[in-house]
C-alpha cells in the first residue's frame, strides 16, 4: 500500500495536463501519480501515453463527473491517503510533506487542504478554497480570504493551521479509510458542492477537517466549467439544497430550506434584471430537480441519522447570513465578519 496516491481527474483537459503535470511529477518524488480520465473526447489519453509514461492511467467508460469519477477511480487505488488534485493546479516544492504531517499527527483528521492562491494573480487567494472553507447556516459557502467574488491579497493574515468546515476538492488530502467508510462523494451531485457534503458527513461522524498554511498551490479555476456557464448555476443551486436536506439537524430542515428557496428566487430575479435569463432558468431547473430528488434524499437523510446524532451545529457553521453581511452590511473580508462567541476566529 502506498502512503499517498496523487489522483487527478481529467475530462478534456489536455492543455492543463500538458502545462501542469510536469510540476506535479517534479515536486512529488516517490508518490505515484494517477490520472483518471472521465472518457475525454480530446487527445488527453494519447498525450499521457506518449509524453507521460510514468503516469498511472485509469480510463473510465463514461463521464461520471467529479463525484462519480473520483468514486470509481479511488476504488481502484490502494493507498493510506488520496491527494485529490485538479488538473489546473500548479504545485510548489515540498507541498506534500506539511499536509501529510498534519494528517499523521491526528488520526481524527479526515481531510486537509493547502493554501490556494490564484495562478493568474499569485498574490491573491483563489476562489475555490483560499485559506479554508466555511458555510453559513443557510448553506452558502465562503472561505477565509474569499467572500463571494471578493478575493483578498495574501498578506500572511491566514497563516495559522486550524479546523475548517470544508476542504476544497481542487486540492484535498483525504484519509482513504474514512473516504470509503462514508461512501465517498454523492454521485448524484455530479460536480460542485460534493466535497462540502462529504466534509459535513465527516464532521457529523466526529472527524475533523483542517487547513494547512505551510503548503501552497496555485489554481487556475473554472477549467472544466466557467462560472458564467448556466450549467454551473444549476449544479450549485441544486446541490446546495440537496446537501442541506441531507445534513441539517432535526428541527432545522424545513425553515432553513424555505429561506434558501426564497433567497434563490430573489437571486433569480437579480439574474433576470441583469439580462442573465439563462441563469434564472437554471435556478428554476435546480429547484424542480431538487423536488424530484426528495424520495432519494429522504432515504439518504434517514441513512445518515446516526451520523447527525442530533447535532445542533458545528462551530465552523456561521450562524449569520453571509448574504446579509456581504451585500447589505458591505463586509467583504472574512476578518470583518462579526464573531459570535469567538466562533470562527
Q: What is the pLDDT of residues 119-176, one digit of tens each?
A: 999 999 999 999 999 999 999 999 999 999 999 999 999 999 999 999 999 999 999 9
- pLDDT for 309 equals 60
* Highest mean pLDDT (candidates 43-52, 243-252, 332-341): 43-52
Residues forming a β-bridge with 5 = 82
Please provide the size of the chain in residues: 345
Q: CA–CA distance from 238 to each of 22, 215, 265 (Å)?
A: 36, 32, 13
Task: Give buried/exposed letters for 318-345 (b at 16+ CB in 10 A, else e).
Answer: bebbbeebbeeeebeebeebeeeeebbe
What do you get for the CA distance between the two ends of the chain, in Å? 38
- Chain-centroid distance, C-alpha 134: 11
- Chain-centroid distance, C-alpha 270: 26
Calculate mean pLDDT across residues 12-24: 97
State whether the Cα torsion 185-187-189-192 is positive or negative.
Answer: positive
User: Residue 147 and residue 326: Cα distance in Å, rounded?
Assistant: 8
**Using the 8-state DSSP alphabet, how is residue 343 labeled?**
-
Calculate mean pLDDT across residues 93-105: 97
Q: Does position 243 have pLDDT exceeding 90, yes or no?
A: yes
Q: Does position 223 have pLDDT exceeding 60, yes or no?
A: no
Amino acid at each position: 500500500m502506498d502512503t499517498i496516491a496523487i489522483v487527478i481527474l481529467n475530462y478534456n483537459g489536455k492543455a492543463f495536463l500538458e502545462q501542469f503535470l510536469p510540476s506535479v511529477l517534479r515536486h512529488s518524488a516517490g508518490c505515484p501519480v494517477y490520472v483518471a480520465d472521465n472518457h475525454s473526447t480530446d487527445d488527453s489519453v494519447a498525450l499521457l501515453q506518449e509524453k507521460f509514461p510514468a503516469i498511472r492511467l485509469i480510463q473510465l467508460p463514461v463521464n461520471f463527473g467529479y463525484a462519480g469519477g473520483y468514486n470509481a477511480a479511488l476504488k481502484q487505488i490502494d493507498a493510506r491517503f488520496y491527494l485529490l488534485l485538479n488538473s489546473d493546479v500548479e504545485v510548489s516544492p515540498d507541498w506534500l510533506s506539511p499536509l501529510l504531517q498534519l494528517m499523521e499527527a491526528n488520526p481524527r483528521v479526515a481531510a486537509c487542504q493547502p493554501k490556494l492562491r490564484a495562478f493568474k494573480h499569485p498574490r491573491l487567494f483563489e476562489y475555490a478554497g483560499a485559506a479554508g472553507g466555511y458555510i453559513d447556516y443557510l448553506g452558502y459557502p465562503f472561505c477565509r480570504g474569499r467572500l463571494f467574488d471578493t478575493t483578498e491579497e495574501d498578506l500572511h493574515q491566514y497563516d495559522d493551521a486550524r479546523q475548517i468546515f470544508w476542504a476544497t476538492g481542487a486540492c484535498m488530502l483525504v484519509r482513504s479509510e474514512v473516504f470509503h467508510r462514508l461512501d465517498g462523494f454523492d454521485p448524484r451531485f455530479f460536480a460542485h458542492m460534493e466535497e462540502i457534503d462529504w466534509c459535513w458527513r465527516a464532521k457529523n461522524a466526529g472527524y475533523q477537517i483542517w487547513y494547512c498554511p505551510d503548503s501552497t498551490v496555485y489554481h487556475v479555476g473554472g477549467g472544466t466549467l466557467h462560472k458564467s456557464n448556466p450549467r454551473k448555476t444549476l449544479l450549485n443551486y441544486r446541490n446546495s439544497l440537496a446537501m442541506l436536506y441531507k445534513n441539517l439537524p432535526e428541527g432545522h430542515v424545513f425553515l432553513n430550506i424555505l429561506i434558501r428557496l426564497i433567497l434563490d428566487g430573489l437571486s433569480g430575479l437579480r439574474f433576470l434584471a441583469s439580462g442573465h435569463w439563462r441563469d434564472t432558468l437554471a435556478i428554476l431547473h435546480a429547484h424542480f430537480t431538487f423536488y424530484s430528488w426528495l424520495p432519494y434524499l429522504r432515504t439518504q437523510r434517514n441513512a445518515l441519522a446516526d451520523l447527525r446524532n442530533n447535532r445542533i451545529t458545528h462551530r465552523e457553521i456561521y450562524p449569520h447570513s453571509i448574504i446579509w453581511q456581504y451585500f447589505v452590511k458591505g463586509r467583504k473580508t472574512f476578518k470583518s465578519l462579526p464573531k459570535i462567541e469567538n466562533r470562527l476566529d
